[in-house]
Amino acid sequence: MYLWFKLLHIFFIISWFAGLFYLPRIYVNLAQVEAGNRSEYQRLLGMSERLFKFMTPLGIAAVLTGFTIPFINGWWGMGWVHTKVTLGVILLAYHFYCYRILLDFKEDRNRYSHKWFRVFNEIPVLIMIAALYLVVFKPF
């Protein structure tokens, strides 16, 4: 049973992270669209909306399978699991903040530069590195 949940978790994590990496990249492009270019802005906005709708169920499935695995293996009492779950909660917050940004773009209220979005785009990378370290080395 554990291996099936592990397989599903890895699949959902890879898929969700693809969206978490790409959505802010679209935001970089949206932030760079010139004010008069409504067609380009609408095209990128549509891409953002469709991607967010696609990646949300993947994120939910990743979190659900990620919460299930420690119970199956009896790992729930281990410190590294609590830290990894905390990272998962931070990713969820990041995901929903991406939605907040999407709403701002829809209402032409973006307040960030394309440079800000380039930095914002690196947050999931850092969280992934930390989570992989925890899973592989189980340090505490």
From 84, 75, 64, select the one nearest 134 (Cα to Cα).
Answer: 84
Residue 82 assigned to a binding site: no
Q: According to the annotation, is 115 in a ligand binding site?
A: no
Binding site, annotated residues: 9, 84
Binding site, annotated residues for heme: 9, 84
